[in-house]
């Protein structure tokens, strides 16, 4: 575990009711996409976050699924006490909780999400309206201008506006 992730973990481990929000942005013209993951407490105060810029054009649904996968992986790696992961992508939530096999480009990522959830039996993924997912969206959009991953604890970094 990297020192930065360890520091983030130590800053927020005492919080009992943390929620994770995820979102993704795609820039077809720049052939990039970005993932935003934000941890908030019961008062909606930002406690930590992760922004992952990625090279390559992907459909929005794939980017959204990758954001959920990154969030779950990060939560598990840092052992954050999270029971709720929120996203504004209803189609991915539906696919995760549907037993039917999907013949789509996003199926492999959905399968990875389902497998990771086996190791976090209390973690649920829920759909929320876009208005309740604004901070994660702002982070994902900011990631389109970055060249490397950013992890932080405390309030939003200054480059996120």
pTM, entire model: 0.87
Parent domain of 24: 16-153
77 falls within a domain: yes
Per-residue pLDDT for 158 more than 80? yes
- 63 CB contacts (<8 Å, ≥6 apart)? 24, 25, 26, 33, 34, 35
What does the pLDDT read at residue 9? 45
Instruction: Tell me which of 10 and 159 has the higher pLDDT.
Output: 159
Q: Is residue 91 a part of any domain in this protein?
A: yes
Which tens digit of pLDDT belongs to each residue from 55-78?
Answer: 999 999 999 999 999 999 999 999
Q: Which two tokens stand for residue 131?
A: 């208005």
> Has residue 142 been placed in a domain?
yes
Distance of CA 101 to the CA centre of its chain: 23
pLDDT of 1 higher than 70: no
The pLDDT tens digits of the residues spanning 17-70 come to 789 999 999 999 999 999 999 999 888 899 999 999 999 999 999 999 999 999
- Say if 34 falls within a structural domain: yes
pLDDT tens per residue, range 69-123: 999 999 999 999 899 999 999 999 999 998 776 678 899 999 999 999 999 999 9
Identify whether 9 is part of a domain: no
- What are the tokens at 101? 């096999």
Residue 137 lies in a domain: yes
Q: Residue 98 half-sphere exposure, CB side, CA atoms within 13 Å?
A: 12
Q: How many domains would you assign to the chain? A: 1
Q: Is 11 domain-assigned? A: no
* H, E, C per residue of the chain: CCHHHHHHHHHHCCCCCEEEEEEEEEECCCCEEEEEEEEECCCCCEEEEEEEEEECCCCHHHHHHHHHHHHHHHHHHHCCCEEEEEECCHHHHHHHCCCCCCCCCCHHHHHHHHHHHCCCCCCEEEECCHHHHHHHHHHHHHHCCCCCCEEEECCCCCCCC
Provide the CATH number for the domain around residue 88: 3.30.420.10
């Amino acid at each position: 575990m990297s020192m930065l992730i360890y520091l983030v973990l130590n800053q927020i481990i005492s919080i009992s009711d943390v929620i994770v929000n995820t979102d993704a942005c795609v820039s077809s013209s720049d052939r990039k996409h970005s993932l935003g993951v934000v941890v908030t407490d019961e008062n909606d105060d930002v406690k930590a976050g992760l922004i992952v810029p990625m090279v390559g054009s992907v459909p929005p649904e794939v980017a959204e699924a990758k954001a959920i996968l990154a969030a779950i992986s990060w939560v598990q790696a840092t052992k954050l006490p999270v029971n709720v992961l929120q996203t504004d992508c209803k189609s991915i939530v539906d696919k995760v909780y549907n037993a039917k096999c999907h013949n789509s480009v996003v199926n492999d990522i959905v399968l990875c999400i389902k497998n990771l959830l086996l190791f976090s039996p209390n973690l649920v993924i829920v759909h929320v309206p876009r208005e309740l997912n604004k901070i994660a969206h702002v982070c994902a959009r900011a990631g389109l201008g970055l060249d490397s991953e950013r992890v932080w604890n405390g309030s939003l970094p200054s480059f996120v506006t």
